[in-house]
Amino acid sequence: MNKEFKETARELVDKMTLEEAASQLRYDSPSIDRLGIPSYNWWGEGLHGLARAGTATVFPQAIALAAMFDKEMLGKVAEVVSTEARAKYNESKKLGDRDLYKCITMWSPNINIFRDARWGRGQETYGEDPYLTAKLGVAFIKGLQGDKKYMRAAGCAKHYAVHSGPEAIRHGFDARVSAKDLEETYIPQFKEAVDAGVAGVMGAYNRVNGEPACASKVLLEDTLLNKWGFEGYIVSDFLALLDIHKNHKVTANEFETAALALKKGCHLNAGIVYRCLMDAYNQGLVTEEEIREAAVRVYTVRAALGMFDEDCEYNSLGLADIDTDESDALTYDASVESMVLLKNDGLLPLNKDKIKTIGVIGPTATSITVLEGNYNGLSSRYVTNLEGIRRAVNKGTRVLFSEGSHLFESKVQNLALDDDRLSEAEMVARASDVVVLCVGLDSTIEGEEGDTGNAFAAGDKTSLFLPEHQQKLVERVVSTGTPVILVCNTGSAMDLSYADENCNAIIQSWYSGQNGGMALADIIFGDQVPGGRLPVTFYKDGQQPPMEDYSMKGRTYRYLNDKPLYPFGFGLSYSTTEFSDLSVSDGTEVKCTIKVKNTGKYRTGEVVQAYISNMPQDKLDNNLNSDIQNLSDILLPDNQPKYSLCGFEKVFLEPGEEKTVEVVIPEKSFETVLEDGSRHILRGSYRIYVGGQQPDERSKELTGKECFSFEVTK
């Protein structure tokens, strides 16, 4: 935040009475009429499109956007989100509508680590890897906030920190985490968001090592404010401060909670606790300076948004800038780029001229909800999976449809017997040349505690398998012998072992956005090539530790010892690419250049991925830095990542085209995090892998390819 905005904020706050300043620390900040300051509600959502504010462009869910592995595209998506937010804000305030969600402070992105595939809110994240999450988070923040004098909309990195379920107990849960895991996995992406100039950071509901995340000395005061020098505003999650005295039992009442949170650095309260700030002041629990300094923080953000300048460059945005043809086209491109081809025995792409009858079966085939994900807006242009296929087929091709099963209940019609749509599904399958089998979940059963309506686990999954009656549907359709393309609409990894063994092709479609069905159809018929790579590991059910265990041992591709079903970074294409001529420039940063050639028949997007073995290849005894003694006593090799993503670039190639791609590996990628959380570059040789995938055995099995590798000595 620049000096001018801080000065504007301080001048305004100095004119306020103490009671007025305290009132501005509420998310539903009331007007101060005598100063000409209107009311403002800070709660805005923009995870993958302007959310909960009426009509807006609905992009694929965040986890799908992560699967693009495309920083530039994500920045464009975020620019649309903030443009529509600003436009809606401008139009709403003209009519005196200053309700929540119609603002320009977006409480996005969610940069928590998707450490457990069962977590319902994992769909809101950019996956399981801190490096990928950081780079995509920064791209989204910069696209959201813009690069002009004023911010187009303000970003907010959430939920700080160590927050990824379980949803059912989050309000009283204490996430116990080692100093190593905290530094290595749970907070580095927040540091990069701060360095990128994010306007806000939101705290989490849970405690972290005994301290409430929204009032933590370690997380807020020591790290975010003092160590990292964060200059933006810190906001609590909604009603999270109530948990501090009601569920965490850290304070005795709301007055003590308000004082604790304010003193530790929570500047804005999403909830009701800060309504008693003046009572806390009158009891001597907080000072006038603490209240006013917090008010300056939040008003600096409002000034940076141009709220007090009639000539702000974004004031002209309006209704015509919402739900445009251009943003519709962008969401189609994002859907194509995000879909991941997990299996293809040669069936795909289908030849339209040879398909006379196509069966579309499954509970997600006609669902708009699976296009939306959660924290979504409302589109005027939805194309479901079934509708997309109907539009794409040749004239005269018959499209047959059966729902097949309910999404999660045992029957579709209440008075019918269980599995009442199975026989119809079999009819359709037997009558078809090929079946597109659409299965999965949606945000009514996978999502945030309080938002979902299922009886499973407050939005979390109890297992990685499809719901029982969907699994029956898959087996029944497969039994007909008709070729099957399985389309999986979920926001998380599933155990698709049966489909992997028995279906001809599998497409992970995620919650795919307003054009998801059109993108899917165009991929199926070869008008587009699937461009996604997995931002999460697809496990077999039972491979993960207990969800309450926040240790990273055995979690994500970096620490997993078992062989996964589908690895992080994996995704097939209809085309083929070859890598050649790797060259390395070794300095403070390591610059790798590699040639990538499209040797197939389709235009394709390739993701060049670089991974580093985080431990030197030499013996520990030879790696002692001068300031570290007895390294083997404080470093546990079995708690080190096998390797970690340290660079990636997306490149698009026409058939026969070759491009040279540069991947820059920053020096901090060579740092080893010790058990005490300290970072050190240990002397020795580090192995770096470059290619279109992870350097693991399962990726080699699935692709038949290996990565290039080389060593760098530090």
Q: Which residues are catalytic?
A: 237
Q: How far apart are CA 203 and CA 489, in angstroms?
A: 30
DSSP element (H, E) containing 296: helix 288-304
Q: How far apart are CA 24 and CA 72, in angstroms?
A: 36
Q: How far apart are CA 211 and CA 264, in angstroms?
A: 11
Distances (CA, A) of 101 to 125, 200, 377, 503: 20, 16, 10, 43
Q: How far apart are CA 307 and CA 242, in angstroms?
A: 30
Distances (CA, A) of 507 to 296, 564, 662: 50, 17, 30
Buried b (16+ CB within 10 A) or exposed e, 210-228: ebbbbbbebbbeebbbeeb
Torsion sign (Cα): 354, 359, 363, 366: positive
Q: At what angle do helices 3-15 and 288-304 cross, to 10 degrees?
A: 130
DSSP state of 203: E
DSSP one-letter string for 247-263? TS-SSSSHHHHHHHHHH
Tokens of 302: 């409002």
Q: Which amino acid is it at 157?
A: A
Count CB neighbours of 18 within 10 A: 14
Q: How far apart are CA 406 and CA 466, in angstroms?
A: 12
Q: How far apart are the first and last CA of the chain?
A: 37
Helix, strand or coil, per DSSP, at residue 173: coil
Q: How far apart are CA 303 and CA 25, in angstroms?
A: 15
Q: How far apart are CA 167 and CA 173, in angstroms?
A: 9
Residues 58/372, Cβ–Cβ less than 8 Å: yes
Going by C-alpha positions, the residue among 654, 663, 664, 689 that lies closest to residue 577 is: 654
Tokens of 349: 């792409």
Alpha helices per DSSP H over 24-128: 62-67, 71-94
DSSP element (H, E) containing 169: none
Contacts of 501 (CB under 8 A, 6+ apart): none
Residues 463/171, Cβ–Cβ less than 8 Å: no
Going by C-alpha positions, the residue among 223, 233, 241 that lies closest to residue 179 is: 223
Per DSSP, which regions of 135-277 are E strands? 156-160, 174-175, 200-203, 207-208, 211-212, 233-235
Q: How far apart are CA 335 and CA 384, in angstroms?
A: 12
